[in-house]
Structure 1
Amino acid sequence: MRVAGIDGGGGAWTVALWEGRSVRIQRCRSLREVIPLSPSVVGIDMPIGLPSRREPGGRRADREARRRLGRRGVCVFSPPVRESLSAATYREALGINREAGGGISVQCFGLFPALRELDDWMREDPSRRDWVKEVHPELSFMAMNGGRPMEQSKHTPEGIRCRISLLDEALFLPRCGRRMEEVLGPLPAAWREHVVDACAALWSALRIVEGTAERLPPEEERDSCGLPMEIWY
Structure 2
Amino acid sequence: MSETACGIDGCRAGWIGVLLPEADAPIAAVTSDLVEFLHHPLAPPVIAIDMPIGLPERVGAGGRGPERHARAVLGPRQSSVFSIPSRAAVMSGDYGEACRLALATSEPPRKVSRQAFGLFPKIRALDALMTPDLEGRIFESHPELAFRQLNGGAPMSLPKKVKNVPHPPGLDERRALLVRHGYPPAFLERPPRGAGLDDLLDAAVLALVARRIARGEAECFPPVPERDGRGLRMAIFA
| TM-score between both structures, scaled by the size of structure 1 | 0.91
1:5, 1:17 within 8 Å by CA — same for their partners in 2? yes
Pick from 17, 20, 44: which aligns with 2:19?
A: 17
Structure 1: unaligned runs, 5 residues or longer: 173-178
| CA displacement at 1:184 relative to structure 2 | 5.4
Superposed CA deviations along residues 40-89 of structure 1, whole A, max 9, x for unmatched, are 00000000111111211001110110110012100000112111233121
2:14, 2:31 within 8 Å by CA — same for their partners in 1? yes
| CA displacement at 1:149 relative to structure 2 | 0.6
Give the alignment's Cα RMSD to 1 decimal. 1.6
Give 1:136's aligned amino acid: H
Pick from 218, 225, 228: which aligns with 1:223?
A: 228
Aligned counterparts of 2:225 and 2:148: Cα–Cα separation in 1: 22
The list of structure 1 runs, each at least 4 consecutive aligned residues, that deviate by more than 4 angstroms after superposition, is: none
**Equivalent residue runs for 1:12-161 within 5 Å:** 12-21=14-23, 22-37=25-40, 38-101=43-106, 102-123=110-131, 126-154=132-160, 155-161=166-172
Query: Bigger CA drift: 61-70 or 17-26?
Result: 17-26
| CA displacement at 1:143 relative to structure 2 | 1.1
Q: Provide closer, same or farther for how the CA distance between residues 79 and 136 of structure 1 changes in structure 2, counting only shifts above 3 A.
A: same
Structure with more helix by fraction: 1
1:24, 1:184 within 8 Å by CA — same for their partners in 2? no
Query: Bigger CA drift: 185-194 or 150-159?
Result: 185-194
Identity of aligned residues (%): 38
2:8, 2:206 within 8 Å by CA — same for their partners in 1? yes
Aligned counterparts of 2:145 and 2:56: Cα–Cα separation in 1: 21
2:48, 2:207 within 8 Å by CA — same for their partners in 1? yes
Aligned to 2:209: 204
Aligned length: 224
Aligned counterparts of 1:31 and 1:60: Cα–Cα separation in 2: 25
Structure 2: unaligned runs, 5 residues or longer: 161-165
Q: Secondary structure, in 3 states, of the residue corresponding to 1:95?
A: helix
2:13, 2:31 within 8 Å by CA — same for their partners in 1? no
| CA displacement at 1:185 relative to structure 2 | 5.4
Give 1:32's aligned amino acid: V
Superposed CA deviations along residues 166-207 of structure 1, whole A, max 9, x for unmatched, are 1011232xxxxxx231x4553479620100000011011111
Q: Secondary structure, in 3 states, of the residue corresponding to 2:180?
A: helix
Query: Bigger CA drift: 90-99 or 185-194?
Result: 185-194
1:25, 1:184 within 8 Å by CA — same for their partners in 2? no
1:162 aligns with 2:167: no
Q: Provide closer, same or farther for how the CA distance between residues 66 and 185 of structure 1 changes in structure 2, counting only shifts above 3 A.
A: closer
Give 2:27's aligned amino acid: R
Aligned to 1:186: 190
2:59, 2:86 within 8 Å by CA — same for their partners in 1? yes
Aligned to 2:163: none
2:188, 2:201 within 8 Å by CA — same for their partners in 1? no
Q: Provide closer, same or farther for how the CA distance between residues 193 and 170 of structure 1 changes in structure 2, counting only shifts above 3 A.
A: same
Aligned counterparts of 1:72 and 1:128: Cα–Cα separation in 2: 30
Structure with more strand by fraction: 2
